[in-house]
Amino acid sequence: RRQALAVQDYERIFSQRLPQEADYQVARQSQEAGFVLDKIDGHRRYYRQY
């Protein structure tokens, strides 16, 4: 089942952190939640469940 997830939700959560740290945290938490980076459209990242 594939489900796209806009990263704006994550960016809201990690908005207080440094951008690099936020990217790392988002990537790690997304993988733990079963999401992988699907595509990058401009500044928006989309994750899909695997």
Q: Residue 26: its pLDDT value, please? A: 72
Query: How far apart are alpha carbons 21 and 2 in whole angstroms?
Result: 27
Say if strands 35-41 and 44-49 run parallel, antiparallel, or are unpaired.
antiparallel
CA 47 centroid distance within chain? 6
Q: Residue 1: its pLDDT value, please? A: 44
- What does each of the 50 residues of the chain score in pLDDT, given as a tens digit? 455 555 556 656 555 555 566 666 777 777 777 666 666 666 666 666 65
Domain ranges of the chain: 4-49
